Each structure stands twice: as structure tokens, then as C-alpha cells.
Amino acid sequence: MAEKKSAYLLKVGEEFEPLEFIVTPELNQQYLYAEEDFHPRYIETTRNGPGFVHPGILFNMSNNTRSPSFFLPPGWGEIHAGEETEFLNPARVGKKIRVTWEVIDTYEKKGRPWHVLDILIVDEDGIQIMRRKMTNTFASLSLRNQGE
Amino acid sequence: MGRINKDAPIGSEFAGKPKKMSWERLWTFSGGPFTAEGWPKKNLHTDTEFAKKLGLPTIGASATQYLGHLTELMIDLFGESWLWNGKFSDIKFIKLVAEGDTLTSKAKVVSKEKTGSEMEVRLNLSVENQHGDEVLIGFAKGFVPNA
């Protein structure tokens, strides 16, 4: 089995393995509780179809830590530092969602590696749901001690 | 219809309802699907030891959790059309959100511009904790009918 590459070592143009998942009513309701947002638009089926997927799921499941290929050594973590988001279409409960990630910038600041990712979320019909530009840095206690 | 319309004065301020970042809601948001084996998944949002190994004093909420709060406020202001054309820009997460903090999403109208049949409304955003400290700053852009 190929050794996984630490996330902070990925270069510009490299991608994390895509994630596919289905938003069931139960998964949606899990996030409605987490977000304390029980609006009927996320629960009720209308003539236009099932309820909307709560955007909190889309944000959370499109963090690159959700990619099957995401890896960091023990004691390392990724910190979300910045965000740009374009909402393109609502996602519907019951649809399969696909998330892709591409590294579009890397740099070092204050002794830490930083990454900028282009993230695209589409549904099973090819409808674009959300586009994100996510800025992350990486942290570990050893890195922190080096900086002190 | 949302709470903002084309006549909203520059400087108008809006806020969402305060939300407590309890253990239950942090685990539910960041622990993975309930059906996953070993739920909740251990990470810096769910496991104190994991967080301390990274040099953090305690677990912190995922920034995407309060991006969700902000999105709720945007839909309240612009209506569901936000889900088709809303934009967040220059969002920066500037302070750790610890378990037990209470967060409030805030927005202030900073500019308006006619774009055909619509009015583009730009907002200054923040999320503040119970001490009044900003944990998130940034901007949003949404559209309202110009008729």
C-alpha cells in the first residue's frame, strides 16, 4: 500500500482524493441540531423536491480533513484560517454529493506551512452547489516549540 | 423575502440569535456521522488530549460550524436566494472558539450598488463571543430586488 503523503507536503496542482456521500434526512437532522437551526426548509418536502441540505454539512464535509487521502502525522493538526465561499445552488436531501480539492497556493509564514485550496461541491446531477477557497495552516506542539 | 431590501440604509446593523457552543453541539457537528464506527471521531474539535497535543488549551469549535451560523443570518437577511448567489469574502478566523462560548453573528450594510434589476448589498461581518471579542471577521455580498 502506498504511503500517505502528509497534507502540508502537497504542492500546487496536487489534489486530495474526492469524497462522495449521501445526505440522508438523518444526517441532515444531525447538523440541524448541531447548528441549532430547525427551519422547515431543511425538513419539509415541497412540490420542488426534498428539503435543502443545511449549508453547515456542506461546509463541514468539504473540509479537506474529510478526504479519504487526508493524512497528517500524529500530533499535527490543520487550522482553518481563511475562507471565500460562493453559494451556487442549494443541495437537496437524498442526493449524492461529490467534493473535490485542489491545492492552488502554498507558502510559509511565521515558520508554518500554509495552503490555499480550491474546493468544488457538485451533486449527482452535476449541479454545482458551492465553491470555496479555503486557507489553512498546520500546527503541532513541536512546530510551536521551534517558534518560541 | 429577507429582512434587507433596496431601501436598507448604509450602516444598518443586524444580528442572529446567540448560540452556545456546547459539548453536545461540537461533538454532533465535528464527530462525523452518528453511524460511523467509534463516534465521535477524535480531532481538535472533540478531544481535549488531541487539542492539547497541538498546543491548544482546550477543544475549539470548527470554524465551519459558525460559518453555518452566519449562513443562517444571511438567509434571514436576503431570503433563500442567498443559496443561489450569496458570497462570503475575506473571511478570517481570528480567535479560538472554546467549548461553552456563546457566539452571535453580526452584519452591517456597508455599500449598495444597482446591478440591472437587482441591488447588490455588501455587508461587513463579524462573529462575537460572550465577551464581545471578534472570533471571525469578513464580508458578504447578496442581492435584493431593485424594483
Check whether domain B13-145 has CATH 3.10.129.10, yes or no: yes
Q: In this predicted structure, what is the pLDDT of residue B88?
A: 98
For B41-93, the pLDDT digits (tens) are 999 999 999 888 888 888 999 999 999 999 999 999 999 999 999 999 999 99
Query: Looking at beta carbons, which residues of chain B come within 8 Å of A37?
Result: 68-69, 72
Helix (H), strand (E) at residue B26: helix B23-30
For B96-115, the pLDDT digits (tens) are 999 999 999 999 999 999 99
Q: In this predicted structure, what is the pLDDT of residue A112?
A: 92
Nearest by CB: B88 against A39, A41, A83: A83
What is the distance in angstroms between the Cα of A29 and the nearest Cα belonging to chain B? Answer: 10
Domain range enclosing A19: 15-147
Q: How far apart are CA B128 and CA B104, in angstroms?
A: 5
Q: In this predicted structure, what is the pLDDT of residue A148?
A: 38
Domain locations along chain B: 13-145
Number of domains forming the structure of chain A: 1
Nearest by CB: A41 against B55, B80, B84: B80
Query: Is residue B119 pLDDT above 90, yes or no?
Result: yes
A10 is a domain residue: no
Q: In this predicted structure, what is the pLDDT of residue A69?
A: 97
What is the distance in angstroms between the Cα of B52 and the nearest Cα belonging to chain A? Answer: 8
- CB B30 to CB A60 under 8 A? yes
Measured between CA atoms, the residue of chain A closest to residue B60 is A79
Which residues neighbour B118 within 8 Å (Cβ) at sequence distance 6 or greater?
B143, B144, B145, B146
ipTM summary value: 0.95
| B window 115-134, beta carbon within 8 A of A | none
What is the distance in angstroms between the Cα of A50 and the nearest Cα belonging to chain B? Answer: 15
Between residues A147 and B122, the one the model is more confident about: B122
For A61-99, the pLDDT digits (tens) are 999 999 999 999 988 889 999 999 999 999 999 999 999
Place of cell 465577551: B131
The CATH code of the domain that includes A122 is 3.10.129.10
Q: How many CB pairs under 8 A join A and B?
A: 111
Measured between CA atoms, the residue of chain B closest to residue A21 is B33
A3 is a domain residue: no
A9 is a domain residue: no
Q: How far apart are CA A59 and CA A83, in angstroms?
A: 10
Q: In this predicted structure, what is the pLDDT of residue A143?
A: 62
Which residues neighbour B49 within 8 Å (Cβ) at sequence distance 6 or greater?
none
